[in-house]
Amino acid sequence: MSEILLLLLSTALVNNVVLIKFLGLCPVMGVSKSVDSAFGMGLATTFVIVLASGASWMLDHWLLTPLGLGYLRILSFILVIASVVQFTEMFIKKSSPGLYQSLGIYLPLITTNCAVLGVALLNVQQQFSLFKSLLYGFGSALGFTLVMLIFAGLRERIALARVPAAFAGAPIAFVTISLLALSFMGFSGLNV
Amino acid sequence: MIAAILSLTLLGAALGIVLGIANKFLKVEGNPVVEELLVMMPGSNCGQCGFPGCNGAAEAIVNGTAPATCCPPGGKALASAIAAKLGLTVDLSAMADDGPKIAVVAEELCIGCCRCSKVCPTDAIIGAAKQVHNVFREACTGCSSCIEKCPTEALVMRPVPVTLQHWVMPRPVAA
Amino acid sequence: MGFMNLLKHLLSDDWGVHPDDHKRPAADAPVRVMPVPQRLYLPLQQHLGGPARPVVLVGQQVSKGELIAEAQGMVSAPIHAPTSGTIVAVSEITAPHPSGLTLSAIILEADGRDAWGELPACVDPFSLSPAEIGQRVAAAGVVGMGGAAFPSSVKLVGASRAKVTTLVINGGECEPYLSCDDRLMRDQAAAIIDGIRIMQHATGANVALVGIEDNKPEAIAAMQRAAGRGDVVIRPVPARYPMGSEKQLIQVLTGTEVPADGRPADIGVIVHNVGTALAVRAAVREGKPLISRLVTVNGQCAAYPGNIEVRIGTLAEEVIAFAGGLKGDGLGLARRIMGGPMMGMQIPHWRVPVVKGSSGILALDASEVAAQEPNPCIRCGRCVKACPMGLLPLEMSARIRNQAYDEAIDLGLKDCIACGCCAYVCPSTIPLVQYFVHAKGELAAQDRTKLRNDATKKLALQRQERLAREAREKAEAAARRKAEREAAAAKVAAEAAAVNAQTQGESA
């Protein structure tokens, strides 16, 4: 049990995909203008990452490794991820047109979200079991959603503040997220 | 080599079938967002936005080719409602804000040709042949589609005067 | 002791502000009655609700107290001639409003006789039913004299319907500078108590609480003497702005809070001003309409501050001239205000008429006007502490500055009473109230646009229906004509055939 908790903590906070590994930055910058859409994006990415880490584990263990096709890993993982994203897109379009509209181009771009492929590849690298892969994926996605929410909340406040003209918009957002990254580095002192 | 080709092909085919089935069950007819926007819009199809009617404008807004602020009769209220629905951020101050205008008939110039009343999308112009026409100010949306139809330039757009009931205190200038 | 103070400080709801009240010496000077001026300017909208509709013609002679404009709509009030004379025009006059826009007004030329017209008979008010009292108050054009100018009869009639148990009389007069209510209570305490009893009878309230701020000891003493030991209870309340605000006064006097989106009647309370009590008494006992009121002339620039009884419709210019003019001919004048300094209306010039809700005419000099450039918010939170409604003025204004009006509503913008406490305490002199008034106006404008859009939509639909109907009727008419033509043709053909057959038969 404690192992599960440790894995979750270390993936969500200590090795946060966004702020420590610097994966998946483009949706973090792109869809963090409001907390609502940031949360939607976090949920969609969580769904894709967990599904993709499970599917890629199965693919790797049951198809690629037995046949010795390790060199096809990236290619086939992308294929799996792309189809999961397509499925998610259809689902969101059906269930929540408003969220679909506000996620816009970033929804299909989850396919190329390096956090998703990164987590799948890291799973293989660390030779996790299926359960641990899923957990690792879930923990990473949790970290991603957390950063999305924190950052979106900060940006909502920044939108109300009076930012000097030269910093208005993206520059102040970059400054903010770099400060956020610095603060997350504090977690690496944790002995987990 | 053959194993690689075969496995990728199989993978692709399997995922394709799954997606195909999913598409069948999760199909969305039309674009519900466009329909929702259409309900919010004035519906007079006045054409001030430059699109063929409110339907065209709604589609353009959803596709992102037109800003949420493109509907002058809707004003800021409509723009912010659309922005909230689509999760867009709009700059309301960018909206043309020289105040609402309505059409006014200069009675000495009107010849009673009825051309203006035929094009008015809200039937705001009253008048019979060879009679001086007039505009119901409550019904006029200020779309100015009647202006160019007038052969004697008797129709002009005039700003609606600000009254005590419509006056809004200006937003203070930020320090 | 320090600990107790701290505890008290933490527990007490420390809302509001304590501005320097500047009420004396104006409050101590005896009331002066201003003679009727040459011309009176009577705006058609002196109250909340629909404007009144003129019922007189230009050139018509009217007597004092005669109806000259009737109420229009559910919430409205009629206007009466404050003196006898001739109607000379119905035209526009600058309204007592910060916009400086004009308002339609009836202009009355006084004939100097100041003769009353026929008044409704005097009756014993306690023999009348609440509805009859309501009718009399409505006919007399009585509105709230505290400043909001809400038609009193609407409140009275609503109260008897809403089963009101407590009548709260507002003698707080928390606005600095103003002392007209103070003066009324000192001079006419018995009449006010009579008015309160009449209102109590009209509303069915079993207790009347009169809240008077403790910086008016003379008024409290006079009212207590007049009230005796009856069911009208005089309650001194701590002097603090905005104690005279409806919701705050109710909470202090009854201990019950008015719900955010509710009205006092929802908790069985109704609030009237002391001036209104007097006007109600005059309307019911003597049948006299509301044609004059007490106005405080005050401010550093006023030469002789004091309270003056003026006819409704007198220009502020003339009131000031009667009061003794401005010091140094108004050289140091920095701001002209109608009403109180916190919630009154800044006016562009003195040619603005006194209306039913005008409680003061203030000529403030530069030392009294905090006209500083606003600085950025330092988030000190003083406005939060001062807000009597428990709102977050700094957060709301930040959202309004960025035009996020919906978020401001979520923070309670609609509960803002625009009292001005937040702006008063702000060390950065941010015009917070202006933000809120702007946002409320903007939201009202958006609502109007939305209503208009709906109306437009309906019109467009009706036009489409009309076009479709016309096309259908045209097609039907065409079809009918065609059928008729065909029938006629068939008939001709049949006749021809018959003739043919005959001729053939004959020939055969």
Which tens digit of pLDDT belongs to each residue from C376-429?
899 999 999 999 999 999 999 999 988 889 889 999 999 999 999 999 999 999
**Which H helix or E strand runs over A146?**
helix A130-160
Question: How many CA atoms are closer than 13 Å to the CA of C188, on its beta-carbon side?
Answer: 20
Separation between Cα atoms, residue C152 and residue C47, nearest integer Å:
10
Identify the pLDDT of residue A190: 63
**Chain B interface includes C38 (CB < 8 A):** no
pLDDT(C140) > 70:
yes
pLDDT(C5) > 80:
no
The minimum CA-CA distance between B4 and chain A, rounded to whole Å, is: 7
What residues have CB less than 8 Å from C480, skipping those under 6 apart?
none
Q: Which domain holds residue C442?
A: 375-497
> What confidence tier does B174 reach under pLDDT thresholds 50, 70, 90?
low
Look at residues C290, C359, C279, C358 and name the one whose alpha carbon lies nearest to residue C64. Answer: C290
Separation between Cα atoms, residue C322 and residue C315, nearest integer Å:
11
- Assess if residue C358 is contained within a domain: no
CB contact under 8 A, A160 and C402: yes
More confident residue, C347 or C508: C347
Separation between Cα atoms, residue B40 and residue B32, nearest integer Å:
13
My answer on whether omega of the bond before C25 falls inside 30° of 0, hence cis, is: yes
| Interface test with chain C among A35, A160, A162, A163, by most C beta carbons within 10 Å | A160
Answer whether CATH 3.40.50.720 is correct for domain B32-86.
Answer: no
- The secondary structure of residue B92, as a DSSP letter, is G
- Pairing mode, strands C166-171 and C269-273: parallel
Q: What is the mean pLDDT of residues C449-464?
A: 84
Q: What percent of chain C has pLDDT over 70?
A: 96
Q: Which chains touch B (3 or more CB pairs under 8 A)?
A: A, C
> What confidence tier does C477 reach under pLDDT thresholds 50, 70, 90?
very high
- Assess if residue C349 is contained within a domain: no
pLDDT(C436) > 70:
yes
Domain ranges of chain B: 32-86, 101-159
The minimum CA-CA distance between C100 and chain B, rounded to whole Å, is: 9
Contact yes or no for C410/C393 (Cβ under 8 A): no
The minimum CA-CA distance between C154 and chain B, rounded to whole Å, is: 21
**Chain B interface includes C471 (CB < 8 A):** no
The minimum CA-CA distance between C409 and chain B, rounded to whole Å, is: 14
**Chain C interface includes A164 (CB < 8 A):** no
Identify the pLDDT of residue C13: 65
**Chain B interface includes C444 (CB < 8 A):** yes
Identify the pLDDT of residue C1: 42
What residues have CB less than 8 Å from B152, skipping those under 6 apart?
B109, B110, B111
| pLDDT tens string A16-42 | 999 998 998 888 988 888 888 898 889
In the numeric block, the tokens 């006789």 are attached to C113
CA dihedral sign, ordered A163, A169, A171, A173:
positive
- Assess if residue C471 is contained within a domain: yes
**Chain A interface includes B3 (CB < 8 A):** yes
> What confidence tier does B25 reach under pLDDT thresholds 50, 70, 90?
confident
Number of domains chain C is built from: 1
CA dihedral sign, ordered C246, C251, C253, C256:
positive
Using CB atoms, which residue from C103, C376, C455 is nearest to B175?
C376
Instruction: Output C324-327 pairs: Cβ under 8 A, ≥24 positions apart.
Output: C326/C301, C326/C302, C326/C363, C327/C300, C327/C301, C327/C302, C327/C303
In the numeric block, the tokens 């951020």 are attached to B89
Strand partners, C110: C85
Look at residues C301, C317, C305, C304 and name the one whose alpha carbon lies nearest to residue C37. Answer: C317
The ipTM is 0.72
In the numeric block, the tokens 């000529």 are attached to C363
User: Which listed CATH number (1.10.3720.10, 2.140.10.10, 3.50.50.60, 3.30.70.20) goes with B101-159?
Assistant: 3.30.70.20
Cα angle value C77/C80/C83 (rounded, 5°): 155
Contact yes or no for C111/C50 (Cβ under 8 A): no
pLDDT(A137) > 90:
yes
Residues of C in contact with B162 (CB under 8 A): 99, 101
Identify the pLDDT of residue B17: 93
**Residue of chain A whose alpha carbon sits nearest to that of C404:** A160
Domain at C444, CATH number? 1.10.1060
CB contact under 8 A, A83 and B3: no
Question: How many CA atoms are closer than 13 Å to the CA of B152, on its beta-carbon side?
Answer: 14
Identify the pLDDT of residue B71: 81
What residues have CB less than 8 Å from B59, skipping those under 6 apart?
B31, B34, B51
pLDDT(C8) > 70:
no
Q: Which of B41-55, C49-63, C244-258 has the lowest mean pLDDT?
A: B41-55
Q: How far apart are the first and last CA of chain A?
A: 14
- Assess if residue C478 is contained within a domain: yes
More confident residue, A189 or C103: C103
| pLDDT tens string C78-96 | 999 999 999 999 999 999 9
More confident residue, A143 or B4: A143
3-state secondary structure of C115: coil
Q: What is the mean pLDDT of residues C120-141?
A: 88
Q: What is the mean pLDDT of residues B97-123?
A: 84
Residues of C in contact with A156 (CB under 8 A): none
Contact yes or no for B21/B46 (Cβ under 8 A): no
Contact yes or no for B15/B9 (Cβ under 8 A): no
Identify the pLDDT of residue C506: 61
pLDDT(B29) > 80:
no
Query: How far is residue A12 from each of residues A5, A19, A35, A47, A140, measured CA to CA in Å?
Result: 10, 10, 19, 15, 5
In the numeric block, the tokens 């979200």 are attached to A113
> What confidence tier does B93 reach under pLDDT thresholds 50, 70, 90?
low
Separation between Cα atoms, residue C214 and residue C182, nearest integer Å:
11
> What confidence tier does C2 reach under pLDDT thresholds 50, 70, 90?
low
My answer on whether omega of the bond before C242 falls inside 30° of 0, hence cis, is: yes
Identify the pLDDT of residue A98: 75
pTM, whole model, 2 decimals?
Answer: 0.83
The minimum CA-CA distance between C205 and chain A, rounded to whole Å, is: 48
What residues have CB less than 8 Å from C321, skipping those under 6 apart?
none
Q: Which chains touch C (3 or more CB pairs under 8 A)?
A: A, B
**Residue of chain B whose alpha carbon sits nearest to that of C454:** B42
Query: How far is residue C23 from each of residues A108, C18, C175, measured CA to CA in Å?
Result: 69, 13, 9
Q: What is the mean pLDDT of residues C270-282?
A: 94
Separation between Cα atoms, residue C216 and residue C219, nearest integer Å:
5
The pair phi, psi for residue C171, each rounded to 5°, is: -115, 25
